[in-house]
Structure 1
Amino acid sequence: MALRWSHAALNCRDLDTTEEFYRRWFGMRRARAFDVAGARFVFLRLGDAYLELCSLPPRAAPAPEPSADGPHAAGAVRHLAFQTDDVDAFLARMGDAARVTLGPLDFDAFIPGWRSVWLADPEGNVVEVSQGYRDLPDDAPTDAKVTLG
Structure 2
Amino acid sequence: MTAPASLRWAHVGLNCRDQAATEEFYTRWFGFRRARVVAGDGWQVVFLRRGEAWLELFASDAEPAPAAKEDGPANPGAVRHLAFQVDDVDAFLAGAEGELSVSLGPLDFDEYITGWRTVWVTDPDGVVIEVSQGYTDQTPEELARYDA
Normalising to structure 1: TM-score of the pair?
0.89
1:15 to 14, 19, 29: 19
Tell which deviates more after alignment, 27-36 or 8-17.
27-36
1:48 to 39, 52, 71: 52
CA distance in 2, matches of 1:143, 1:54: 41
2:131 corresponds in structure 1 to 129
CA distance in 1, matches of 2:102, 2:49: 24
1:35 to 31, 35, 39: 39
1:80 Cα deviation from its structure 2 partner: 0.3
Contact 1:39 1:56 in 2 (8 A): no
The percentage of aligned residue pairs carrying the same residue is: 57
Structure 2 unpaired stretches of 5+: none
What amino acid maps onto 2:63 in structure 1? A
Length, aligned pairs only: 142
Instruction: Check 1:118–1:34 CA distance in 2 against 1; reply closer, same or farther (3 A cut).
Output: same
What amino acid maps onto 2:70 in structure 1? A
| 1:99-118 matched pairs, under 5 angstroms | 99-118=101-120
CA distance in 1, matches of 2:145, 2:118: 21
Structure 1 unpaired stretches of 5+: none
Q: Residue deviations 1:66-123, cap 9 Å, x none?
A: 3100000000000000000000110111122110000001111111000000001001
- For the aligned residue pairs, the C-alpha RMSD in angstroms reads 1.4
1:92 corresponds in structure 2 to 94
Normalising to structure 2: TM-score of the pair?
0.90
1:143 Cα deviation from its structure 2 partner: 5.1
Q: Residue deviations 1:108-146, cap 9 Å, x none?
A: 111100000000100110000000001123x3231557x
* Pair 1:75-2:74 in alignment: no
